[in-house]
Amino acid sequence: GIQVEQSPPDLILQEGANSTLRCNFSDSVNNLQWFHQNPWGQLINLFYIPSGTKQNGRLSATTVATERYSLLYISSSQTTDSGVYFCAVERMNYKLSFGAGTTVTVRA
Amino acid sequence: DAGVTQSPTHLIKTRGQQVTLRCSPKSGHDTVSWYQQALGQGPQFIFQYYEEEERQRGNFPDRFSGHQFPNYSSELNVNALLLGDSALYLCASSPTRTSGRASDEQFFGPGTRLTVL
């Protein structure tokens, strides 16, 4: 099956800092989503981005499908940005394959 | 607009027992997928239901089974529970994949946390 690798595994930030999370995948995909999992386990949709660039407030994402990677940018981080960020991809088979996640800790 | 809902929130069972988890999809969605998330890991796909049939299945044993009802809600059943079945079980819904659309965004419910003692 398709392999999804996220880096870094852990990220510690000072409030106000910027950061970049990376997601590499092993094959062409028709769906790529970024999620933020809160401490209660809820997966919150951040971006549905099979290709191109999107922005939503302080968050933005870019997927370069031909090179099989996606980047999630967090600007001016806040303590509420803490949590686990997951990248998930789908390759024409209806199921999402998740990476292991990046755990982000933002310190005040 | 109601999102994906799941019940119960938490559940404690003992080894060998059976459990049923429930999911109602987001309004306008007719496809339901189930995922298992062990502690410290990413979610793993169990199976997907569409038109009341299992359309796709991940690498899970037959102890895991499901059902989809005419109103698109779904159940996940796990028989002969093992300690290793302790996990967060997540339900996701998505709309019908109409002609010309290669994929659709999936939306997740809050999950059911199952503990097997």
pLDDT in tens, A57-101: 999 999 999 999 999 999 999 999 999 999 999 987 779 999 999
Tell if the CB–CB gap between A33 and B105 is shorter than 8 Å.
yes
pLDDT at A1 over 80: yes
Q: Which residues of B touch A100 (CB under 8 A)?
A: 41-42
Q: Which tokens belong to A17?
A: 């800092």
Q: Which of A30, A45, A99 sits opposite B103 (nearest CB)?
A: A30
What count of Cα atoms within 13 Å lies in the side-chain half-sphere of residue A104? 30
Residue A80 main-chain phi, psi, to 5 deg: -70, -10
In angstroms, the separation between the Cα of residue B113 and the nearest Cα of chain A is 9
Cis-peptide into A8, omega within 30 deg: yes
Residue B4 main-chain phi, psi, to 5 deg: -75, 130
pLDDT tens profile A5-48: 999 999 999 999 999 999 999 999 989 999 999 988 999 999 99
Tell if the CB–CB gap between B110 and A30 is shorter than 8 Å.
no
pLDDT at B100 over 90: no
Q: Which of A4, A41, A48 sits opposite B105 (nearest CB)?
A: A48
Tell if the CB–CB gap between B113 and A41 is shorter than 8 Å.
yes
**By C-alpha distance, which of A45, A21, A18, A24 is closest to A34?**
A45
Q: Which residues of B touch A83 (CB under 8 A)?
A: none
User: What pLDDT is stored for residue B28 in this prediction?
Assistant: 87
Tell if the CB–CB gap between A88 and B92 is shorter than 8 Å.
no
Model confidence band, residue B99 (pLDDT cutoffs 50, 70, 90):
low
Tell if the CB–CB gap between A30 and B105 is shorter than 8 Å.
no
Tell if the CB–CB gap between A41 and B110 is shorter than 8 Å.
yes
- Give yes or no for a contact between B110 and B43, defined as CB atoms under 8 angstroms apart: no
User: What pLDDT is stored for residue B97 in this prediction?
Assistant: 66
User: What pLDDT is stored for residue B95 in this prediction?
Assistant: 84
Mean pLDDT, chain B, whole residue set: 93
Cβ neighbour number for residue B95 with a 10 Å cutoff:
16
Cβ neighbour number for residue B67 with a 10 Å cutoff:
14
> Exposed/middle/buried for B43, CB within 10 Å: 0-12, 13-18, 19+?
buried
